[in-house]
Amino acid sequence: MNKTEPVYTTVATQVELSKQDAKKAVEALFETISNTLTKEEKIQLIGFGTFEVRERTARAGRNPQTGEKMTILASKVPTIRPKRSASAIING
């Protein structure tokens, strides 16, 4: 499922909103998560999971086309840690 029509329709149906209002709500949630991560702050959605920014250290790698050794620079990446019960449901 992606963020287009099916998501908006599902949200609209579940909370009895118009599709347009559901779209605004979903977009606001994603914008809030993005803005919080941009400030490198953690956002915890109780019952769902925790979004945070983690730092990856620089490491050695290889260019897949040439096999040449290279250094992969340090970077910051967004991550999500799902709630434990969500992982248990997915894994059976």
pLDDT along the chain (92 residues), means of 10: 73 90 91 95 91 96 94 95 78 74
CATH at residue 46: 4.10.520.10
Q: Which pLDDT score is estimated for 73?
A: 96
Say if residue 33 is in the same domain as residue 49: no
Say if residue 48 is in the same domain as residue 84: yes
62 phi and psi angles, rounded to 5 deg: -130, 145
Say if residue 68 is in the same domain as residue 90: yes
Q: Which pLDDT score is estimated for 1?
A: 57
How many structural domains does the chain have? Answer: 2
Query: Cα separation of 80 and 89, whole Å?
Result: 17
Range of the domain at 27: 1-39
DSSP 8-state symbol, 78: E
Say if residue 21 is in the same domain as residue 65: no
Q: Which pLDDT score is estimated for 3?
A: 57
Say if residue 91 is in the same domain as residue 75: yes
Q: Which pLDDT score is estimated for 66?
A: 94
